[in-house]
Every structure is written in structure tokens, then in C-alpha cells.
Structure 1
């Protein structure tokens, strides 16, 4: 060793005179003479037991989280993949039955077969939603820069272009730097929810976006003038597979808002619901997303 060299730190367990096991870290420092020869060695022993135990606990939790996420994605894939095949077979079978008895079936029978078909499609949507939910919750995505107006227009062209609904944008930010897939999934689900849960009086859906540069967050709102959500159901709508309408009256898996909440919170954002149909129609969902 020579002057200026750093001694390595040593971390190891010890057992005290009372029999207690502790973890310590040893710091060394040398004293040198004019010939740069080390003449003395000083050491400091620091008790790091608490920090060490916390570090080990965090490592174990991270390992367990990684394992749980992998199991979740594997389960969702197997469940959706293994169930899709027999579900398709049931769908085909019901279609063949409908064709075979078309000329002799009663109105009730035709209605029941139609209901069966719609429920099969709903189950397909739930399986696909489950797989999507697992994927977006367990994977990491690179940050990209998106043109927000273009992305919103693309979403609307897929979901609402054929609807008699005004799509209005109030964008105080042109581009957003975000993980592409999860961010667009949130927007897609919120706009889709407004359409699916609307009624004949739904006339507009509005999207607002702004940036809070001081706190480094994007703030997005998706609003509609639909029937609204009673306040007593505000928590329920964020639960898995929950819908306020009868399942036969609405398309979808019931994963929309639960997926929105999970994804937003996973990326250290927050989401809230503003709706009180006792006062006025409409629902607003606000979410914040960190600027990357």
C-alpha cells in the first residue's frame, strides 16, 4: 500500500461476548513515513446490523416480487391460452346449432343462442384482458417520446370514429416522454370506458393534458357527459371484473379501471374519480404520470 490508496471495506458477522450475532463493517486507514512506508494501521469498526438486515430483507422481497410477477404472467398466459381453445370450440358449436335450427327455432331459442354468443365473446374479452393485465403489470417498458394529439386521434379512430360523439382535446403539452405501452393502455381504457358506459344522451368525451414542471408530472383528465357513477360505487369500479351495468348489457371484461389504477400506481402516479350523478351528469377520471 502507498499513500492515497484506499483500503477495502470488510463486512462480516461477529458474535459478541453476550452471544448476540451482529454484522460489522471495518474501515482501515494507514499512516506512512517520509519514505512512503506504512508504519501504522488504524481501523474503525461500525455496527451495521440494522442496515444489513434491512438490505437483506429488501433483497428477499425483490426476489419474491420478481418470482411472483413471473408466476402471475405465466398463470395468466396458461389460463388464457388453455381456455381460449375450448371457448372457441363452444363458440363454433353454438354457431352451427344456430344455423341448423334457424328455420325451426322459436324466438326464445334464437334469443337464448344470441345470449350464449354474447357471453362467449365476453369471456374471450375477459381472458384477453387478464393476459394483458398480467403483462403490463410485470414487464418494464422503455421510455419513448409520443405526440399526444396523434396518439389520441389514433385511439379515437379505433374506438369512437363511428359514434355520434364529439371528441374534444385540450392539450397544454404536445409531447410526452413515457413508457409507450402502459401509458397508451391507460388512455385507451379510459376513453373506451366512457364509450361503453355511455347512454343515448352521451354527446362528448374530452381529454385534457397539462404538465406540472415544478413537480415533474403530467396531469391527464378524461371526461364525459354520460350517466355518471354514484359516489357509493367509486371504490367498487376499481376492483377486478366489476361493472355497474348488467354484464349482458355491456361489452368488456370489467378490467378497465382496475387495470388503469394498477398501471398508473405501478409507475408512481395516482388516479382519482370525480362523478356525482345526483348533482350533474358526467364522469371525470384524473391521473398523474411522472415525466421521464
Structure 2
């Protein structure tokens, strides 16, 4: 159906462009014909006046009296020997030619504007259609990947539940299976939270938000993760300078910082040291998140930002594959950028760059 609508729209645009071009050609041709007709009339009036001057003595004696009213666009000039000549007023002729040029330019500019408007509208519709197609494809891909990610822990939970139903199962095996089930439930919970975060990011995709202090926002996130850090034997340090204001929404920024910090703790051996630095700049402020974990190989540094990519870097924790994807997506929404630098066994450094804003 959409193909037929697109074809119909293309035919309509082509017809409108042809009609607009023909209409401009017709109007300019009519203007040219009218100008030539007016100039020809002036020539005929001049010849008629010259004939009257030659044949009528009273007209020759007082041409302005007898010819000014019937021939208002002519002037009468006497020669050195007393001869009288009828001429077209140069100002009248110049006015006719100027009006002709002005009218043609007006028709051409209006026609060109009409055609450009059609072309611009066509490009806008094509861009909107492509954006819609890309959005639908991305949504279908996201839902397919999300469904797959849900199936894996659900299948494990079903298998574990069936195994627990066996009476001959040892207590040690039962405890081990229960621990695995808890891990799968936690993974499902994390996956649901991350998917909800994707929806939350869509809510803040428009609008500029308010002025945020990066130092204050980092401190709030670190305070919120204090219990998580203590449970995982992690030390989170903040090194911040004042005067780091940006414009944006608080929730996307908090999601970025939280995901980076949680990701650093989960992928690092215990004990964990994570440092957050807030560095002011003239045009852009930076937030640097550094850890002392195993690092990320260069071949994976671009892929870790892909949706649902879960590379097992240390064999301990695979995650949902949405954490760093949300980091990049929310940074783009905030008008910022995220950069990763890492070497094996030397930790990872994530640098967040934000456009600087002055406080209101």
C-alpha cells in the first residue's frame, strides 16, 4: 500500500513541477508579448505624429498643443534648421522595459520557489519515511534481542525448577541450584530495569532540561551507590572542581554515571578501586571514570557499546548488554560524547564530554 502511495505522490509531484514550469513559461511569454506590443504602439504613435507634423501646418507650428493629449508618451524636438521630430519619451520606454524585467524576475522567482518547495517537501517526506523505517527496524531488532535475552534465564529457571522437583537430589546440589536460580532472577531483574531505562531515555529525547552541576550530580550518584560499593568491596573516589555546569535532564545523566560505575565494579576483581574525575573546560566539561579492572581489548572497544552485546571479559559477569549501550545513547541525547581508552590488565577509562553551560 505504501509503495502505491509513494508512486502516486511521485506522479503528483512530477505533474505539479511540469505544470509549474509551463505556467512560468506561459506568464513570461505573455509578459514579453505585452512589452513588445507596447513598444510597437509607441513606434506607431511616433510614425503617426510624424505624419501629422509633415501634413498639418498648424500641428507643425504648435505640436504640444495638438499632439500632447493623443500622444502623451511622445516628445517633440526641433532640429538646428527648424525641423521638428517626434520621438518616444526615453523615460516611458525605460519604464516599460524595467517593468518587463521586474515581472519576468517575479514569475521566475515564484516558479523557482514553488519547485524548490516541492523538492524540499519531497526530501522531508523521504527522510521521515526512512526514519520511520529505521525506527521500526531498530525496534524489531531490539524486541527480538530482548526476547532472546529473556528466554535464556527463563529456560534455565524452568530446568532448575524441574531438577529441584526430584526427590533423590542431594542437599548440596539443591543449594547450588537455588543459588543459580537466584542469579538468573537477578539477571532478569537487571534486564527489566535496563529495558525500562531505554523507555525512560525516549521520554527525555526532546527538550533541553535545566542546568546541572556535574560535581553535585556525581556526588549524588556515588552516595546512592554507597551500599552497592560496600557489598562488593569497592572504593569509589570523587575528584571534582567547581564550575562545571551543563544543560540537560538529571535522569539520563544519572543513568550514564550509574551504569559506568556499576559496570566498573562488576567487571573488576575484588577489591575494586574506581575514580571519578570532574574536569572543567572553557567549551566542554569532562567526567572521567577510571577503574583498575582487567581492561577491554581494543578489538572489543567499539562493540561494547552495541545493544545486547555481552562479552565475557573475566568470566564472572556477563550483564544484560544494555549498560554501555544506554551510556552512549543518553550521552548523545545530552549533546555529549563518550570515549573509551583501555589496555589489557590496565583498567578502563571512560571519558564523558559535555557542552559547557553557564548557570542561570
Structure-2-length-normalised TM-score: 0.56
- Out of 247, 261, 264, the position equivalent to 1:194 is 264
Q: Does 1:53 align with 2:119?
A: yes
Asked whether the equivalents of residues 164 and 203 of structure 1 are also in contact (C-alpha less than 8 Å), the reply is: yes
- Out of 289, 293, 304, the position equivalent to 1:222 is 289
**Alpha-carbon distance between aligned partners in 2 of 1:258 and 1:285, rounded to the nearest angstrom:** 13
State the 1:226 CA deviation: 2.0
Identify if the C-alpha distance between structure 1 residues 165 and 154 changes in structure 2 by more than 3 Å, giving closer, same or farther: same
Question: Residue 281 of structure 2: SS of its match in structure 1?
Answer: strand
Q: Does 1:175 align with 2:245?
A: yes
State the 1:109 CA deviation: 2.8
**Alpha-carbon distance between aligned partners in 1 of 2:168 and 2:24, rounded to the nearest angstrom:** 82
Equivalence for 2:307: 240
Identify if the C-alpha distance between structure 1 residues 204 and 268 changes in structure 2 by more than 3 Å, giving closer, same or farther: closer
Q: Does 1:286 align with 2:286?
A: no
Question: Residue 226 of structure 1: SS of its match in structure 2?
Answer: coil
Larger helix percent: 2
Equivalence for 1:263: 330
- Out of 186, 202, 211, the position equivalent to 2:281 is 211
Question: Residue 249 of structure 1: SS of its match in structure 2?
Answer: coil
- The aligned runs of 1:17-96 (5 Å cut-off) are 42=103, 43-46=106-109, 47-48=112-113, 49=115, 52-62=118-128, 65=131
State the 1:133 CA deviation: 1.4
**Alpha-carbon distance between aligned partners in 2 of 1:259 and 1:189, rounded to the nearest angstrom:** 8
Deviates more, 1:57-66 or 1:220-229: 57-66
Superimposed CA distance per residue, residues 44-63 of structure 1 (whole angstroms, 9 cap, x where no aligned partner): 42324456424432244346
Identify if the C-alpha distance between structure 1 residues 65 and 71 changes in structure 2 by more than 3 Å, giving closer, same or farther: same
**Alpha-carbon distance between aligned partners in 2 of 1:129 and 1:219, rounded to the nearest angstrom:** 25
Asked whether the equivalents of residues 268 and 289 of structure 1 are also in contact (C-alpha less than 8 Å), the reply is: yes
**Alpha-carbon distance between aligned partners in 2 of 1:135 and 1:70, rounded to the nearest angstrom:** 18
Identify if the C-alpha distance between structure 1 residues 136 and 21 changes in structure 2 by more than 3 Å, giving closer, same or farther: farther
State the 1:188 CA deviation: 1.7
Q: What's the C-alpha RMSD, in Å, of the aligned pairs?
A: 4.4
Identify if the C-alpha distance between structure 1 residues 61 and 134 changes in structure 2 by more than 3 Å, giving closer, same or farther: farther
Equivalence for 2:4: none
Asked whether the equivalents of residues 178 and 291 of structure 1 are also in contact (C-alpha less than 8 Å), the reply is: no
**Alpha-carbon distance between aligned partners in 2 of 1:21 and 1:91, rounded to the nearest angstrom:** 72
**Alpha-carbon distance between aligned partners in 2 of 1:69 and 1:135, rounded to the nearest angstrom:** 17
Asked whether the equivalents of residues 238 and 277 of structure 2 are also in contact (C-alpha less than 8 Å), the reply is: yes
State the 1:64 CA deviation: 5.9
Asked whether the equivalents of residues 226 and 283 of structure 1 are also in contact (C-alpha less than 8 Å), the reply is: yes
Superimposed CA distance per residue, residues 184-227 of structure 1 (whole angstroms, 9 cap, x where no aligned partner): 221221122112212125323222232332xxx33222112222
**Alpha-carbon distance between aligned partners in 1 of 2:140 and 2:247, rounded to the nearest angstrom:** 30
Identify if the C-alpha distance between structure 1 residues 274 and 113 changes in structure 2 by more than 3 Å, giving closer, same or farther: same
Larger strand percent: 1
Superimposed CA distance per residue, residues 95-115 of structure 1 (whole angstroms, 9 cap, x where no aligned partner): 9x97x9999743123212321
**Alpha-carbon distance between aligned partners in 2 of 1:248 and 1:115, rounded to the nearest angstrom:** 15
Asked whether the equivalents of residues 73 and 135 of structure 1 are also in contact (C-alpha less than 8 Å), the reply is: no
Equivalence for 2:191: 126
**Alpha-carbon distance between aligned partners in 2 of 1:182 and 1:144, rounded to the nearest angstrom:** 12
**Alpha-carbon distance between aligned partners in 2 of 1:220 and 1:21, rounded to the nearest angstrom:** 61
Structure-1-length-normalised TM-score: 0.67
Question: Residue 287 of structure 1: SS of its match in structure 2?
Answer: strand
Equivalence for 1:149: 215
**Alpha-carbon distance between aligned partners in 2 of 1:21 and 1:276, rounded to the nearest angstrom:** 67
**Alpha-carbon distance between aligned partners in 1 of 2:311 and 2:234, rounded to the nearest angstrom:** 23
